[in-house]
C-alpha cells in the first residue's frame, strides 16, 4: 500500500506523517495524525478515533472557526489561501491580519496554506505562521525540480 511506503519515508526522514481528511485511514496506517477540512468529520469524533495523535483543522479565513477548533482541542489550525494557488480552487482568501489577530489569543500552532513560494514565504513566517503547507511550488514548478524548489526556501 502506498500509505505504508510514505509512512516509512517520513519515519526515515524524521517527518510527521499526517493523513488528509480521513481519521479512520490515519488510524489504520498508524499515522502521526490527521488534518480535517471543514466538510470532513466532526473534530470531537475525530479526536476520539485518533486519541492523542495530531489533529489539525482548516479554518479558512475565519476567527470563529479558529476559536471552535481551539475549543475542541485541535493540535494546530490552518488558514488560507494566502496567495493564488493552482493546486486547489481558491474559495477563501486569508490575509496576514488573521495570523496576527489569532496569535493574540492562542499559542496553538498556525499553518499557512495556499500559493506559497520562495518569494512570499518569509512574510508569513514573520507574521506568526508557525508552519507552511507548500505543495504546488514544489510539485508543479515548471522552473525547478522538487529538490531545487525546496532548496530555494532555505
Residues 68-97 pLDDT 10s: 999 999 999 999 999 988 777 788 899 999
* Cell digits of residue 107: 499559542
pLDDT score of 125: 97
pLDDT for res 86: 75
Q: Residues near 99 by Cβ (< 8 Å), separated by ≥ 6?
A: 79, 110, 112, 124, 127, 128, 129
58: nearest Cα among 67, 69, 46, 48: 69
Q: Is residue 65 part of a domain?
A: no
Write out the residue range of the structural domain in which residue 34 sits: 1-58
Domain assignment present for 85: yes
Q: What's the number of domains the chain is made of?
A: 2
Rounded to 5°, angle at Cα 112 from 8 and 71: 90
Q: What is the pLDDT of residue 88?
A: 76
DSSP state of 90: -
Residues of the chain with pLDDT under 70: none
Q: Quick check: is 23 in a domain?
A: yes
In a domain? residue 10: yes
Which residues are registered as beta bridge partners of 58? 78
Q: What is the pTM of this model?
A: 0.92
CATH number at residue 146: 3.20.20.70
Instruction: Tell me the Cα Rg of the chain.
Output: 16
In a domain, 72, yes or no: no
Kindly state whether residues 110 and 45 are assigned to the same domain: no
Amino acid at each position: 500500500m502506498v500509505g505504508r511506503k510514505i509512512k516509512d519515508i517520513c519515519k526515515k526522514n524524521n517527518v510527521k506523517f499526517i493523513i488528509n481528511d480521513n481519521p479512520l485511514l490515519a488510524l489504520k496506517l498508524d499515522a502521526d495524525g490527521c488534518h480535517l477540512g471543514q466538510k470532513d468529520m466532526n473534530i470531537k469524533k475525530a479526536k476520539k478515533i485518533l486519541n492523542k495523535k495530531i489533529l489539525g483543522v482548516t479554518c479558512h479565513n475565519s476567527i470563529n472557526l479558529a476559536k471552535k477548533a481551539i475549543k475542541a482541542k485541535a493540535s494546530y489550525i490552518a488558514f488560507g489561501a494566502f496567495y493564488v494557488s493552482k493546486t486547489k480552487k481558491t474559495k477563501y482568501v486569508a490575509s496576514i491580519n488573521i495570523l496576527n489577530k489569532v496569535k493574540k489569543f492562542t499559542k496553538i500552532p498556525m499553518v499557512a496554506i495556499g500559493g506559497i513560494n520562495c518569494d512570499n514565504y518569509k512574510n508569513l513566517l514573520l507574521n506568526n505562521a508557525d508552519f507552511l503547507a507548500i505543495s504546488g511550488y514544489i510539485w508543479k514548478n515548471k522552473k525547478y525540480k522538487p529538490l531545487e524548489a525546496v532548496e530555494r526556501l532555505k
